[in-house]
Amino acid sequence: MKATGREERTDRMERVKKLLNEGWTGVLFYSFLGVAFAFLFSHGLALALSTDTPVVAVLTASMQHNNPEQTYYSWLESRGYSREEIDSWSVPTGFFVGDMPIVAGADSYEVGDVIVYSVPQESYPIIHRIIKINDDGTYQTKGDNNLQQYGYELSVSKEQIHGKVTFVVPKLGYFKLYATKLFGI
């Protein structure tokens, strides 16, 4: 007895399902699908947020508020900022290693914004807070958890900035950290 068109399609679909769910062909197919989805998601997010770096993983503790009285408040208050002004800035409680800030491009940046920028001597972008706008339009930045002599950039140009942190997804950056260590990306 000859199979009908419907039975042939069903038989073909079952063979494809078996091929994709068993063995190396399935692993390769779903790996490719995952990479393609991540690529499209990342590029779509970059386009929507007007930045080339829409998500970053926090690699250091420079923005943690471990001892905010010493490294954050007293340092900024000594430069003329009031505690109320400091508390009104974006990301008032900082963030931790392994968190994933979402970054959006902006036409302008203000004191208190947490920005992501690149410097030639570093292979990864830096995440710091703008603490002063210089007369020439460049920015001074500092990590909230850094002491005065560390993590303090005196001149960051707008061309170096990828964008400012709009919100933070806790702990999701650990996936990127592990992938970076595992694959050396």
**Sign of the C-alpha dihedral computed for residues 21, 24, 28 and 29 taken in this order:** negative
**Residue 88 DSSP one-character state:** T
- Architecture in CATH of 68-183: Ribbon (2.10)
pTM over the 0.75 mark: yes
Q: Which residue has the tokens 């992938």?
A: 179
pLDDT of the chain, 185 residues: tens digit per residue:
556 778 888 877 887 777 677 777 777 887 888 888 888 888 898 999 999 999 888 888 899 998 888 888 988 998 899 999 999 999 998 999 999 999 999 999 999 999 999 998 888 899 999 999 999 999 999 999 987 656 678 899 999 999 999 999 998 888 777 777 777 65
pLDDT at 106: 96
